[in-house]
């Protein structure tokens, strides 16, 4: 089984801040890594797939990077609508997906 | 409009069964892998199960294998999740999602399952 370790679990930030979230995998993901934004009562929203490809319609202040087992999601110039919980997801095989534990981005 | 809509959630007693449905509209349902994901109260997202386009391959999380069954009816554009022998820790919002290469660009709004006596 592939384990995903996401950090931090909570992040306090202000509008305009640069925010970085990290996800570490227990084995090489071959770049099959996605990031989602989730707000209460809503459907999760895909932000980035294949490590660094921005989903259509996602603002360019979101970016993904990394390789192998270590990945980051960066939000430059945090906006009010960005306060939410963020998850990484590995999809190295259809037989098993894994989400990270989540990072709650809160108002400082 | 391209969308997914879940239904079938509700209150169920421990040990009993429930079937969730997810209808896809606005796209060719039979072209896609489909996935169930759940979120327990106060917890994160948890992958539950995947099913291939023609239903020939199915995969489950260890926590539900042997109790839950994923299936699909492409003629009805509908994905199912049969929940048997439910437990208290199955209480969650269940989401269906459409896959691409394993990433999940389209999600439903979710249906709440509450397991309680």
Could you report the per-residue pLDDT of A18-77, keeping only the tens digit for each?
Answer: 999 999 999 999 999 999 999 999 999 999 999 999 999 999 999 999 999 999 999 999
Amino acid B83: pLDDT: 98
What is the rounded CA–CA span in Å between residue B20 and residue B53?
18
* Chains A & B: contacts with CB separation below 8 Å: 69
Amino acid A94: pLDDT: 92
What is the rounded CA–CA span in Å between residue A47 and residue A42?
15
Report chain A residues touching chain B, CB-CB < 8 A: 1, 32, 34, 36, 38, 42-46, 49-50, 55, 85, 87, 89, 91-102
- Provide the percentage of residues in chain B whose pLDDT is more than 90: 99
- Asked if B45 lies within 8 A of A99 by C-beta distance, the reply is yes
What is the rounded CA–CA span in Å between residue A101 and residue B48?
15
DSSP element (H, E) containing B114: strand B111-115
Amino acid A96: pLDDT: 96
Beta bridge mates, B68: B83
Mean pLDDT (whole number) for B7-33 = 98
Query: What spatial distance separates the first Cα and last Cα of chain B, rounded to whole Å?
Result: 39
- Asked if B101 lies within 8 A of A101 by C-beta distance, the reply is no
Amino acid A32: pLDDT: 97
Helix, coil or strand: residue A82: helix
Mean pLDDT (whole number) for B75-95 = 98
- Asked if A94 lies within 8 A of B45 by C-beta distance, the reply is no
């Amino acid at each position: 089984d592939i384990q995903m370790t996401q950090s931090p679990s909570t992040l306090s930030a202000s509008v305009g801040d640069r925010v970085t979230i990290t996800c570490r995998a227990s084995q090489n993901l071959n770049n099959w890594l996605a990031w989602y934004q989730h707000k209460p009562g809503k459907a999760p929203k895909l932000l980035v797939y294949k490590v660094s490809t921005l989903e259509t319609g996602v603002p360019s202040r979101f970016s993904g990077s990394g390789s192998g087992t270590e990945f980051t999601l960066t939000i430059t110039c945090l906006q009010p609508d960005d306060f939410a919980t963020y998850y990484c997801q590995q999809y190295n095989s259809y037989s098993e997906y894994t989400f990270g534990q989540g990072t709650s981005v809160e108002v400082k | 409009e391209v969308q997914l809509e879940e239904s079938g959630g509700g209150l169920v007693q421990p040990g009993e069964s429930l079937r969730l449905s997810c209808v896809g509209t606005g796209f060719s349902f039979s072209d896609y892998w489909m996935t169930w994901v759940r979120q327990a109260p106060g917890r994160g997202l948890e992958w539950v199960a995947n099913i291939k386009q023609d239903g020939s391959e199915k995969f489950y999380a260890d926590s539900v294998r042997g109790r839950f069954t994923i299936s699909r009816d492409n003629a009805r554009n509908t994905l199912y999740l049969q929940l048997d022998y439910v437990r208290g820790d199955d209480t969650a919002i269940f989401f269906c999602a459409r896959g691409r290469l394993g990433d999940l660009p389209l999600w439903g709004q979710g249906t709440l399952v509450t397991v309680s006596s």
